[in-house]
Amino acid sequence: MIDLYSWTTPNGRKVSILLEELGVPYTIKPVDISKGEQFAPEFLAIAPNNRIPAIVDHETDIQLMETGAIMLYLAQKHDRFLARGDEYWRMVEWLMWQMGGLGPMLGQVHHFVKYNKGTSPYSEDRYSTEAKRLYRVLDTRLAGRDYVAGAGRGEYTIADMSIWPWISRHDWQGIDLGDFPNLRSWYRRLRARPAVQSGYHLPHKVNEIPEG
């Protein structure tokens, strides 16, 4: 049994979507970051960086923080949602792209454009411009492809699951998916998956999934 410590953020939703796709038993442990629960000593013992999500796997006694590590661990443990051969590293490449670029930059858009609009026009312009650049990078990658990694038109992997929750907040970022047709088709393809829909609404439902 796996304990998932999480909240309703893009990073949290990555792992809940993967667990729903895997169909393995797990228990969700809500960590309400609006109340500072991520700073509780018992959570710090699992996630020293005080960030959700984190997991405890009671079958192996492994506990992990950081979504990239968690997703690689779960996918390898169950041997699912991994690209094969040389495409394995393409999958890792796009997983790292999300963790090092897309997530942090879109997080800054949320901070300056969604929550603190007008306080720093320079920051709003800087991060909004970078967000659009990253959307173009992903749109270009998805030209002629169904998924970001895998042979042929690609296969659904943890790279897609890692990226999608951040794109699901395109309205927060002031992005019109109509400007990125390849990305929009991919977004809708994943949105239609039952496990994506159920994983999105954990640990509780906040809003309907944006259509894009």
Residue 6, pLDDT score: 98
Which structure tokens are listed for 85? 């051969």
Alpha carbons within 13 angstroms on the beta-carbon side of residue 192 total 6
- What residue has token string 């309400």? 32
Closest to 166 measured CA to CA, from 97, 85, 120: 97
Is the overall model pTM greater than 0.95, yes or no? yes
Mean pLDDT over 19-39 rounds to: 98
Q: Indicate if the pLDDT at residue 105 is higher than 90.
A: yes
Mean pLDDT over 27-35 rounds to: 98
- What residue has token string 């270009």? 140
Going by their DSSP bridges, the two strands 2-6 and 62-65 should be labelled as unpaired
- What residue has token string 């690689």? 72
pLDDT of 145-174, one tens digit each?
999 999 999 999 999 999 999 999 999 999
pLDDT of 166-209, one tens digit each?
999 999 999 999 999 999 999 999 999 999 999 999 999 999 99
Question: Residue 142, SS3?
Answer: coil
pLDDT of 127-145, one tens digit each?
999 999 999 999 999 999 9
Q: Please check whether the two domains, 2-78 and 87-193, share a CATH topology.
A: no
Share of the chain above pLDDT 70, in %: 100
Residue 133, pLDDT score: 98
Which residues, at least 6 apart from 9, have a Cβ–Cβ distance to it below 8 Å?
A: 33, 52, 165
Q: Sorting pLDDT into bands at 50, 70 and 90, what band is 212?
A: confident
The amino acid occupying position 62 is: I
Peptide bond preceding 53 in cis form (omega within 30 of 0): yes
In this structure, what DSSP letter does residue 209 have? P
The CATH code belonging to domain 87-193 is 1.20.1050.10
Q: Indicate if the pLDDT at residue 46 is higher than 90.
A: yes
Between helix 67-78 and helix 87-97 the angle, nearest 10°, is: 150
Class of the 2-78 domain? alpha beta
CB 135 within 8 A of CB 180: yes
Q: Where are the domains of the chain?
A: 2-78, 87-193
In this structure, what DSSP letter does residue 208 have? P
Q: What is the mean pLDDT of the chain?
A: 97
The amino acid occupying position 4 is: L
Mean pLDDT over 68-77 rounds to: 98
